[in-house]
A = this chain, B = another copy of it.
Amino acid sequence: MAKNKRLTADVYSSKCPSREVLNHVTSTWGSLVLVLLLEQTYRFSELRNRIGGISEKMLAQTLQLLEKDGFIARKVYPVIPPKVEYSLTPLGKDVAEKVSALKLWVEANLTKVISHRSKNA
Contacts and interface: CB of A to CB of B under 8 A. Distances in A.
B17 A103 contact: no
B70 A117 contact: yes
A109 B98 CA distance: 13
- The contact size tier of chain A is 35 or more
Nearest to A95: B105
A106 B12 contact: no
B91 A112 contact: yes
Interface of A: 8-15, 17-18, 21-23, 25-28, 31-32, 35-36, 50-53, 68-70, 91, 94-95, 98-99, 101-103, 105-110, 112-114, 116-117, 120
A72 to B, nearest CB: 11
Contact of A12 (B15, B27, B32, B94): B32
A12 B69 CA distance: 23
A78 B12 CA distance: 30
Contacts of A109: 91, 94-95
A74 to B, nearest CB: 11
A68 B105 contact: no
